Amino acid sequence: MPIGTAAGLDPTVLLDTAYCQARIGLDEGGIPIGAALFSADGVLLGEGRNRRVQHDDPSVHGETDAFRAAGRQRDYSSTIMVTTLSPCWYCSGLIRQFGIGSVVIGENRNFVGGEDWLREAGVAITVVDDDRCVAMMADFIAENPLLWNEDIGVAEDA
- 63 is a catalytic site residue: yes
CB distance 35 to 66 below 8 Å: yes
Q: Would you give the binding string for a copy of itself spanning residues 77-106, x where CB under 8 A is met?
A: x----------xxxxxxx-xxxx-------
Instruction: Figure out which of the listed residues 36, 45, 114, 140 binds a copy of itself, where binding follows CB under 8 A.
Output: 114
Please give the DSSP secondary-structure letter assigned to residue 151: H
List, in sequence order, the alpha helices (H) in the chain.
11-27, 62-69, 89-97, 115-120, 131-143, 145-151
Q: Would you give the binding string for a copy of itself spanning residues 3-42, x where CB under 8 A is met?
A: ----------------------------------------
CB distance 51 to 69 below 8 Å: no
- Determine how many CB atoms are found less than 10 A away from the CB of residue 121: 12
Query: By the criterion CB under 8 A, which residues form the site for a copy of itself?
Result: 52, 56-60, 64-65, 67-68, 70-77, 88-94, 96-99, 113-114, 150, 152-156
Which are the catalytic amino acids?
A: 63
